[in-house]
Structure 1
Amino acid sequence: MRQLLALAAGLVVLASSACSAPAPPRSGAPSTTPTGPATLPAPTGDRPVATTALYLTDTSRPDPWDLDADTRQLKVTLWYPTEQRDGQRAPYMTPKESELLLKGSGIANTPYDTLSTTRTNAVKDAEPAGRRLALVVLSAGFTKPVSTLTSLAEDLAGRGYLVAGIDHTHESHATTLSDGRIAECLACDSDTDPGFGPRVVQGRAADVSFVLDRLTSTWKHSGLIDRSKIAMAGQSIGGAATLAAMVKDPRIRAGIDMDGTTYARIPKNGLSRPFMFIGSPQHIPGGRDTSWERDWKLLTGWKRWLVVTNTEHQSFTDLPLLANALGIGPAPGILPAARSAELTRTYVAAFLDRHLGSQRQPLLDRPSPRYPEVTFCPTTCGIP
């Protein structure tokens, strides 16, 4: 079905069965007066953060959505630690990208360039600092640019990670290519086709492997990457793509699915690398989305299944942080945007620190009184 957008915390909730378990209709949050530009929360790490964009072309395969393109063009946004504290902050997105995203999302009560004014924390094009950085790949939800995961990406970079966010061309409302052209959402015309979800995640897995090839070989700073420490995380269909990419590419040592219905077939002998599900109550055992329960049995390594109460599908993205700027009030009973961002950052970082940094993380061993919203489903939801 066509994407219905309502930001979590009352802003946009994806309702496509191809991207996550179907969300029930919401009554909608009240419109309010826009408060001016949104400001993303500062990274919690001790490193200054920078960002830059790479434009890559895979000549080995055609674009899966544009039948006239015999190569696959991708935009990759990198976030990383730097020594440079001063300088121009990177734009959240361009005015045209903001316009196409808001139009595609059906949000019309605010100027279409609003999201281009969002204030980020990363210095544009500063030189990276550090050596032997662990690499984390990010993949966003269907119709969304990877910029909607900027708060998480900046936080990880401030903690010392190199983050590579992939814009999967023609799967979001707007991706700006190297020559300035805007690639729009051609895949949106196919989202009711049989097998759409598996098709998307397999294509994204191919995108990820290609990006890893290029980052670890021809990128000018490839020597910074610790190739033994690569992980991936994604939201919605990006979370599903994380599992698909891990099945396909053994270089990905650990993975996180943030509220995404899964589609990849896990081999019968299981997937033994660390994996974490973290999502909204739709993923409780016996809930509307049963894919996690199905795949849990085939995850044979370290694993966690976390459900966060009072969250929606987009609670694990920047979108709740942008609600006030778009003049949309909070949805009743949903966690405040700052709290959902804190929970997402905290648990994702703990997982990566444990599995890429070999650091003990008691937070992942049992429920925490500091984060009572987080339920450990393997121990409290009756799953063996």
Structure 2
Amino acid sequence: MNSANMAGLEGFSGANLNLNLYDTRDDALWESEGLLVHQQMQRSRSMTKSNDDDIALKKYVGTGVQVVSLIAENLLCHPFVVLRRQCQVHNNSKKTHIIPITLVPVMCHLHQHQSITTLWKGLGSTLLIRGMHKGVEDLISKVTPWPKEITWYSTLKQFFQHALLKCVTIAVVTPFYSASLVETVQSDIASEKPGLFDIFREGFMRLLTWNGSSKGRMLPIWALVLPTVTLGIARYFVQMVVEGSASRLMLVRYRNKQESTGALPRNIPNTAEIEFNAALMGTIAGDVLFYPFETILHRLHLQGTRTIVDNLDTGRSVLPILTNYHGPVDCYESCLRNEGVFGLYKGFGALIFQYAAHIAVIRITRFILTEVTTLMHKPQKPLQPPTTSSPPVITNISVPGQTYLFP
């Protein structure tokens, strides 16, 4: 009797037993690994879709914030522009209104004696001036080789051509800007309300009276073009430098923050938000740095126009603006001599009010839009973590006529 018969394994192949055993285990392993790979693929697709949804939501929120910011800049903040300009041109005022709180009682008195709409005077002409500025710039850029936009990689020639385009645009709009300034600061109760397109008539009249001799102390337009262009182009380049620097710093900060967490996305999802915040920072920096020069320029534009403005010392009366400056230098020296350094910053509190309200509107809008889009977005159910199933343990093998147990 051989060993197989002694063990009682006659008619049974050991090779077949081993092959069946391993085949059973391999099938179970393949089934377990396939389930794991499938769940990982589902999780990867879910994460990719979730990231795409987050990017889309941020894009919608950013677009909504930009639209609301544009409305706030042109409509909601216009009352503070009116208050600021009236303070700047009032050379004999007792109050400087450098801090915002002093303007609150003045606004209340204006509302009592006139109406709340008096703070929106000159809104139509202001919007027309902004539209005219963009239209003239676009027209000049189309008929000349001067570039409308430049980047950090533009050549020196393109830079000077772009600067020339800005200078010519500001020079063309200057007489109409003078007419718009008058409509913005003149009192409603002491002057007739202008029509929507009166700035074009007044601007052309100001342009035709080139020597400025028709109204006595009114400065000629050629004497206003140079300081207006100088202020406009200097403020523009300061805003551009601040905007570019702030944008680069915020991008570097964002990358460092992502690298610290061990992940760096290929495309930065909030690039539009960074550019928007950088542009706002550039605008604020330009208005703050050049505020004294803007005060001098507005006084020169208003001289000789026989404009009557609201008395912002009390908010209950009106007064005429009577000045006799010979130019920007004379205006600057006269302001320092009679009003002091703070005379150049009259109405600075209105500028603080303006950007405080602007930033508050932006933050509230971003919060509301983020919450609404989050509620509207239905997140998918999270996948259950994969279970590592081990192959079944074979405890017995049945052979026709015999049963063998394994530990």
Q: Normalised by the shorter chain, which TM-score bucket?
A: under 0.3
User: Relative contact order, CA 8 A, sep 6+: which one is greater?
Assistant: 2
Larger strand share, 1 or 2: 1
TM-score (norm 1): 0.26
Larger helix share, 1 or 2: 2
